[in-house]
Amino acid sequence: MELIRHFAAGVERCVVIEEGDPVLLDSIRAAGIEAEGKQEMYRFGELNVARVRRILAGDTSPEPVPPKGKPPELCQGCSHRDVFEVLRDLDCIVSGDIGCYTLGVLPPFNGMDTCVCMGASVGVGLRHVLPPEQAKRVVSVIGDSTFVHSGITGIAGPTGGSAEKPVGLVHWAVAGPGGVQSRHRVFLGDRAIVREWSLNAALDLLRRELMC
């Protein structure tokens, strides 16, 4: 605060322009330093160069209406688009999660049926509450970081695996000019062993693909 006091004493006009509430301004004034804030109409919304200019000039005339935006969507060319096309075309029931792939809920995919919170898609799953025919159509989508962060508890804990999803079940795949090859297997052992065997199996599949 002494630095600010020293600065304010050396200028003709000290203006504090901060986005949102005047937190800094109130503290500075409470310390007995004279400072101007922004006009009330600029308390909301983002700051930009034009708005800062208006604040400095004390301009409180109505602001120009911003150009109309377009609805958000998954980026063109994003591989998530292919996934949501397939989920839509197969009429899957999609348990969603938080990430840019949440945009799969919007047209043209309309491909997400639930979205609760980060990590919930696997746990929500819906498979255990829906009739078997509908349960077969359920797919959970989740980003890799979110999966490791909290989504994995929907599979691994707290009571461990099930007959359908035993602990140690690993799927791996490789895509090449000849198509996609996928494998799965249940590796027995602790986490380190499962990780090592998974890595070996994935590298072996990749080696075979490259030798073809």
Q: Which spans of this chain sit near ligand SF4 (rule: CB under 6 A)?
A: 74-75, 78, 80, 100
CA distances from 137 to 52, 116, 125, 133, 134 (A): 53, 19, 11, 7, 5
Task: Tell me the one-letter amino acid at 25.
Answer: L
Position 14: which residue type?
Answer: C
Residue number, 42 or 84, with CB nearest to ligand SF4: 84
Taking the complex as a whole, how short is the minimal distance between the CB of residue 78 and ligand SF4, in angstroms? 3
Q: How far is the CB of 121 from ligand SF4 (least distance, A)?
A: 16
Cα distance between residue 105 and residue 84, in whole Å: 9
Closer to ligand SF4 by Cβ: residue 75 or 199: 75
When the beta carbons of 149 and 185 are compared against ligand SF4, the nearer one is 149
Least separation in angstroms between residue 80's CB and ligand SF4 is 5
CB proximity list for 149: less than 8 A, separation 6 or greater:
118, 119
- Are 92 and 139 in contact, with CB atoms under 8 Å apart? yes
For ligand SF4, the closer CB: 100 or 186: 100
* Shortest Å, Cβ 116 to ligand SF4: 20
